[in-house]
Structure 1
């Protein structure tokens, strides 16, 4: 198994508890900010989703560059976890690491292809021109241009009327495009449809279509964790609330936008995962918020599962730390005394009948070579101290290890000088 596959597999598995921790922290923060502005909750959710990407990315980088004993340490954790599950059977999860990474890669590829196909569909819809709706398209393009001026959007915004969708969609990569359902053009009053376009213009003003693409990338890479999908859904919900607020301020008529959303609610539609449309979140909650905003009370019953998840997360983290400490065994460097010549007794010391015990400390490198020495306890006679230091330097050493890897470590040795 390659080092990259093993490091990637460890990173994916460790994100199980990391994502749970981030999800619990996000839930607590959003609960505390439930009556604050949507911008604050949006910032918290976006920061949490970005942390879901950065935390495992940093850990993967550290494992690949050997900045930590991640591979050996986590390998011990995997073995301990496997033994706790299957008892005393010699099962090592590292044997399944290649299968875990392979399954993750296969699912990520499928989701990536789905995202690419969605982008191609949007690009095709943006390029094609339906002659049957030519007059309507020119009319609403002019309306969209006027809204762009009111919102202070100076980039070119395209508009296309499409038969295959049921709600407005704002999408794109560099140049945003608004896809307008033909059913809305034909059946919705113009003033209400303009309110929906104002909502889409609010997304363009905030570059939400680009943030939404980044969300899809993170969802593709970390698709296996429910916390990622929950946080991403909260981002979309808060994003819609912010777009509602911005559109209502520019229109000066929150009620008109609320009526437009109520008309939209009567339609049957499906949400396009690659687009940022006016149908995100709960439409009834958004309508009520526009017409009659009210503070949200804390639902303690809903908070109990969150508290349980937080306690579970803390327990998993504590077990992982404890397992890491058990798994990482440190062995100090030792000297090969068979290779040590007998130290020469200083002539002056013999004449003076000097004896004593010398305690020396040695720093042994990962290559087994002596790097530094110092006197820890003197025998009381400088000649004996120096003779012991000179003699022990001629020994061969075996380096210390940590988690099975040679490391630099200190060791102590004593030499007893006695006269017989």
Structure 2
């Protein structure tokens, strides 16, 4: 596999995810709208499934491109250009995207690395805080008792941190709950217990692993708004699910609502935004605990979502097959044939001729219905780059007898070999 093949495969996968992500985002938005009055667990599952699909779909396509011939990666140009524009503009979009692939991949790689380093730095900070920050034996004993009551058998550690504004839970096999020092000193004990019950609900559900996957997907596909919207919905629904579990464990939904209200007050008093631990809106969560209501369907908001979904589907259905060498569904097919008398014989590169380098180049030619070559690529090298490029450039200028399907000329791929010999 060449570097050019790798760049093309990654580049076209990133470009194609523009409509794929839009389609997935629309599907998730429609499902969330239909489930607006369902349990938060169901909406959470739908959002998680959508985010996983956003990762798996492009990953499978990238694997297929890397495993296939070099020209397979380039077929996504037709997917992007053909799905968004029509007619003679297709070629312009295709050319622009193809010339920009290198910059697209480099920019994506730099941004993905920066986001990954940011995630790693956050994890290292949490680990350091868990190792060196303060311990409170009294609150640790309370947390141990609450963990057993909620059904957590493994040890849950408690650390008191000065730099935090709301409780944070991290770790799966050795979970840790980081509690702001301002809450320990400024919040009533029964309300702080309610917040700890919420964090234990996260631990019981292994939410840390899902949050870690979210960060990975956000780092890889950061450029698509659907990723951030779906991920934000996951965090919001996850908080509602943890609230439900904690309220059930406490037996007092209003107690947890009071704790969230007190958390909001303390955060505002320390000049921080009112933001719940690990995502979610505090006021929305309080409302759901105290007075859950039925939400009506907003059809005006649903119309743009349906329109975008139809546009993404149109882009999908109007594209060419991923594999250009796949058999046509028609009955009688003939391959294009080169008319070598229409083009000049390739000139032997001087250095290769002086070194008496010989070889056979196998090229793939995409021949249009009028017999002209749309695209020419090297499918199997002769072993010498100058021989490959000279043969490719020369044969691309030839005219072909176009291939046919059921007697009608049709754009098709064909193979041409050119043998370089010194003699």
Shorter chain as denominator, the TM-score bin is: 0.7 to 0.9
Match of 1:179 in 2: 178
**Is the alpha carbon distance of 1:67 and 1:110 closer, same or farther for their aligned partners in structure 2, counting shifts above 3 Å?**
same
2:108 equivalent to 1:108? no
Q: Aligned equivalents of 2:319 and 2:94: distance in 1?
A: 20
2:285 equivalent to 1:286? yes
**Is the alpha carbon distance of 1:90 and 1:182 closer, same or farther for their aligned partners in structure 2, counting shifts above 3 Å?**
closer
Q: Does the CA contact (< 8 Å) of 2:78 and 2:319 recur in 1? A: no
Q: Deviations over 1:183-211 (max 9, x none)?
A: 01111000000000000000000000111
Q: Deviations over 1:234-282 (max 9, x none)?
A: 111111111001001111011100000111112144699xxxx646322
Q: Aligned equivalents of 1:23 and 1:278: distance in 2?
A: 25
Structure 1, gaps ≥5 residues long? 337-365, 368-397, 408-420
Match of 2:310 in 1: 311
Q: State the TM-score, normalized to the length of structure 1.
A: 0.73
Q: Does the CA contact (< 8 Å) of 2:195 and 2:256 recur in 1? A: yes
Q: Deviations over 1:343-394 (max 9, x none)?
A: xxxxxxxxxxxxxxxxxxxxxxx99xxxxxxxxxxxxxxxxxxxxxxxxxxx
Give the one of 56, 59, 82 matched to 1:57.
Answer: 59
SS, match of residue 2 in structure 1: helix
- In the TM superposition, residue 327 of structure 1 has moved relative to its aligned partner by 12
Match of 1:355 in 2: none
Superposition pairs of residues 281-360 of structure 1, within 5 angstroms: 281-321=280-320, 332-333=334-335
Structure 2, gaps ≥5 residues long? 339-361, 364-400, 405-410, 417-423
Q: Does the CA contact (< 8 Å) of 1:333 and 1:399 recur in 2? A: yes
Match of 1:195 in 2: 194
Which has the higher mean CA deviation after the structures are superposed, 137-146 or 180-189?
A: 137-146
Q: Aligned equivalents of 1:50 and 1:13: distance in 2?
A: 18
Q: Aligned equivalents of 2:123 and 2:93: distance in 1?
A: 49
Q: Does the CA contact (< 8 Å) of 2:403 and 2:412 recur in 1? A: no
**Is the alpha carbon distance of 1:37 and 1:90 closer, same or farther for their aligned partners in structure 2, counting shifts above 3 Å?**
closer
**What RMSD, in angstroms, separates the aligned Cα atoms of the two structures?**
3.5
- In the TM superposition, residue 173 of structure 1 has moved relative to its aligned partner by 5.2
Q: Does the CA contact (< 8 Å) of 1:122 and 1:172 recur in 2? A: no
- In the TM superposition, residue 155 of structure 1 has moved relative to its aligned partner by 1.0
**Is the alpha carbon distance of 1:87 and 1:64 closer, same or farther for their aligned partners in structure 2, counting shifts above 3 Å?**
closer
**Is the alpha carbon distance of 1:90 and 1:247 closer, same or farther for their aligned partners in structure 2, counting shifts above 3 Å?**
closer
Aligned pairs, number: 339
Superposition pairs of residues 395-406 of structure 1, within 5 angstroms: 404-406=413-415
Q: Does the CA contact (< 8 Å) of 2:167 and 2:177 recur in 1? A: yes
- In the TM superposition, residue 317 of structure 1 has moved relative to its aligned partner by 2.6
Superposition pairs of residues 229-268 of structure 1, within 5 angstroms: 229-266=228-265, 267-268=267-268
Match of 1:357 in 2: none
Match of 2:97 in 1: 93
- In the TM superposition, residue 123 of structure 1 has moved relative to its aligned partner by 0.4
- In the TM superposition, residue 105 of structure 1 has moved relative to its aligned partner by 0.1
Larger Rg: 1
Q: Deviations over 1:74-127 (max 9, x none)?
A: 244567679865986994421211110000000000001100100100000000
Give the one of 45, 48, 64 matched to 1:46.
Answer: 48
Q: Does the CA contact (< 8 Å) of 1:184 and 1:193 recur in 2? A: yes
Q: Does the CA contact (< 8 Å) of 1:144 and 1:197 recur in 2? A: yes
Match of 1:164 in 2: 163
SS, match of residue 320 in structure 1: coil
- In the TM superposition, residue 15 of structure 1 has moved relative to its aligned partner by 0.3
Q: Aligned equivalents of 1:121 and 1:316: distance in 2?
A: 44
